[in-house]
Amino acid sequence: MMEHNENTAVQEVALSAFDYKMENDQAIEPRDEMPEGYRKHLIRQMSQHAHSEVIGMQPEGNWITRAPSLRAKQILLAKIQDECGHGLYLYSAAETLGISRSEMIAQLHSGKAKYSSVFNYPTLNWADVGAIGWLVDGAAIVNQVSLQRTSYGPYSRAMVRICKEESFHQRQGYEIMANMMRGTADQREMAQDAMNRWWWPSLMMFGPHDSSSPHTGDAFKWKIKRQSNDELRAKFIDKTVQQAEVIGLTIPDPELKWNEEKGHYDHGPINWAEFQRVIGGHGPCNTQRIAHHKKTHENGAWVRAAAAAYSAKQKSIA
Amino acid sequence: MTKEQALYNYCVRLGDNALVQSYRLSEWCSNAPILEEDLALTNMALDMTGRAQLLLQYAGKVAGHGKTADDMAYRRAEREYRNDLISELPDADFAFTMVRQMLVSTFECFLYAALVSSSDKEIAAIAAKAVKEARYHMAHTSEWVIRLGDGTEESNRRAQSALNILWSYTGGLFETTDADALLLSEGMAADVSQIKTKWQENIEAILREAKLILPADDYQQTGGRQGLHTEYLGHMLTEMQYLHRTYPEAIW
């Protein structure tokens, strides 16, 4: 009984230190005491973020062997490497919260952990690689720039580094689209086709409207999230519309219109039924993406076992 | 054969080897056993793509036909490719990739070390960059070959069976043509007959540490340098050149 009371007292002091840091906009670090809900929220969000980087390698990797020039191949290889590096970096950052990479991978395979639903759409032509860089990474940057000020130190620092690379990704994606729009009629058609298919899924990346976002409350209170889904979505639309116009791409939304009063574009209704359906597992590539990740993980088991066995032998010799 | 023709053939051979290796390595993207290895394999693919670009561009310049590196890569058929057969074989598993790359990168360490002093300034400059990369590739892959060979029973079996298949293609690395003789007399090419012994010593040392057995069968498959390939190359080029073949007018 005594012990229990002391623990409670320690936790109260520690929690008030957490509250103090929150109020004063100081970063929470791995050794700091933190509410269990805060820890859980971050593990969920950071592991989902890491999984998104890794699963996102698949749709782009789909074009590596078919990249149409040596330069394009180098850029795409370097870009996917960056995503892989981000995944590694984010897994490590999430590990500071007391969960291992293999546990996170197990949660991905069991369906407990999610990844960005946008990667459940297929890359059907070369312009899709451009669209992913320009639109998907472009949307991710808006989110991630905002996350640079998130309250958890390791996450915030990861975002600073990741944002630098993501802006390169967005430029390379836009370059592919611009090149194709300067090309033959076939190329322009491919670019517009990619635009038509990736625009709406990119808008969905910001999540449900503020009026119906289930996690918004805690995430704001804990300063994990600094700007709302709708604010971030508006930022993305505003900067992208102009970029599309410059290269002659049409945004597939007849209701898109500049709203002078709000200082933002108004857009047509987002198909939230599709969003829920794809998140729920019924997108074009959900089964394929997870099956691929599982198969790769299982195929690699003997390699990881060999490395562990060799390392154990070396230790026993030393 | 003129000196220019010989130099062109030589650059195409080196460039095609880099290009074909880049293709096979890049197939590991999002397929590696751990993320760290995904990064390492695509990093090697990236080195190889860069090397292919430099060498094929130079080949085009030597030939004077105005072809770019991309024209060379994307608009030639398999009989015009001059890469070694060992590099075009499809990857059976991670052990196959590591054993293959160890065998080839060890060869390339000696090859490019020799080419650093080529009398052709362009080749010497490309070699100075390539030799650094090849040393890293050799270090990385030989560590893996040792880990796999001396890891578990399964990894040893897989590495050994990869070695058994790959060994009969190593002879192609040392195959020479008329171009070699001509360029050797000009001090432009590397003498592969001198490389062979050093290469074999290095490989044997790695295999000993990896507890792998050098295959007894000496039969060697060659022909890559005459443009006689395995059936696998045609499929690789079909995929690699897909966009150029489908949209010949497009500029990417």
| Beta carbons of A72 and B252 less than 8 Å apart | yes
Strands A257-259 and A264-266: antiparallel
What pLDDT is stored for residue B218 in this prediction? 84
| Beta carbons of A77 and B42 less than 8 Å apart | yes
| Beta carbons of A77 and B49 less than 8 Å apart | yes
Tell me which chain B residues have a C-beta less than 8 angstroms from the C-beta of A73: 22, 26, 49
What pLDDT is stored for residue A220 in this prediction? 81
Tell whether B240 is within 8 A of chain A (Cβ): yes
Nearest CA in chain A to B209: A310
Residue A54, judged by CB atoms within 10 A of its CB (0-12, 13-18, 19+), counts as buried
Tell whether B44 is within 8 A of chain A (Cβ): no
Tell me which chain A residues have a C-beta less than 8 angstroms from the C-beta of B50: 74
Tell whether B31 is within 8 A of chain A (Cβ): yes
| Long-range contact pairs involving B178-185 (C-beta distance under 8 Å, separation at least 24) | B178/B1, B178/B6, B179/B1, B179/B5, B179/B6, B179/B7, B179/B9, B179/B10, B180/B10, B182/B1, B182/B3, B182/B6, B183/B3, B183/B6, B183/B7, B183/B10
Spell out a b/e string for A19-46, using b for 16 or more CB atoms within 10 Å of the CB, else e.
Answer: eebbeeeebbeeeeebeeebbebbbbbb
| Beta carbons of B154 and A68 less than 8 Å apart | no
Tell whether B248 is within 8 A of chain A (Cβ): no
Tell me which chain B residues have a C-beta less than 8 angstroms from the C-beta of A309: 151-152, 155
DSSP strand E in A54-116: where?
A: none
| Cα–Cα distance, B66 to B76 (Å, whole number) | 14
What pLDDT is stored for residue A231 in this prediction? 93
| Beta carbons of B26 and A54 less than 8 Å apart | no
The tens-digit pLDDT sequence of chain A (318 residues) is: 444 555 666 666 666 889 999 889 899 999 999 999 999 999 999 999 999 999 999 999 999 999 999 999 999 999 999 999 999 999 999 999 999 999 999 999 999 999 999 999 999 999 999 999 999 999 999 988 889 999 999 999 999 989 988 888 999 999 999 999 999 999 999 999 999 999 999 999 999 998 876 555 788 888 888 788 999 999 999 999 999 999 999 999 999 999 999 999 999 999 999 999 999 999 999 999 999 999 999 999 999 999 999 999 999 987
From A55's Cα to the closest Cα of chain B, the distance in A is 8
Contact (Cβ atoms closer than 8 angstroms) between residue B130 and residue B112: yes
Tell whether B218 is within 8 A of chain A (Cβ): no
What pLDDT is stored for residue A6 in this prediction? 56
**A66, A296, A302: residue with CB nearest B240:** A66
Q: How much is the pTM?
A: 0.94
pLDDT tens-digit map of A36-84:
999 999 999 999 999 999 999 999 999 999 999 999 999 999 999 999 9
What pLDDT is stored for residue A159 in this prediction? 93
From B195's Cα to the closest Cα of chain A, the distance in A is 30
| Cα–Cα distance, B112 to B190 (Å, whole number) | 8
Contact (Cβ atoms closer than 8 angstroms) between residue A127 and residue A179: no
Domains of chain B from N-terminus onward: 3-246 (1.20.1260.10)
What pLDDT is stored for residue A2 in this prediction? 44
Residue partners of A10: CB distance under 8 A and separation at least 6: none
The tens-digit pLDDT sequence of chain B (252 residues) is: 899 999 999 999 999 999 999 999 999 999 999 999 999 999 999 999 999 999 999 999 999 998 999 999 999 999 999 999 999 999 999 999 999 999 999 999 999 999 999 999 999 999 999 999 999 999 999 999 999 999 999 999 999 999 999 999 999 999 999 999 999 999 999 999 999 999 999 999 999 999 999 999 889 999 999 999 999 999 999 999 999 999 999 999
| Beta carbons of B29 and A61 less than 8 Å apart | yes
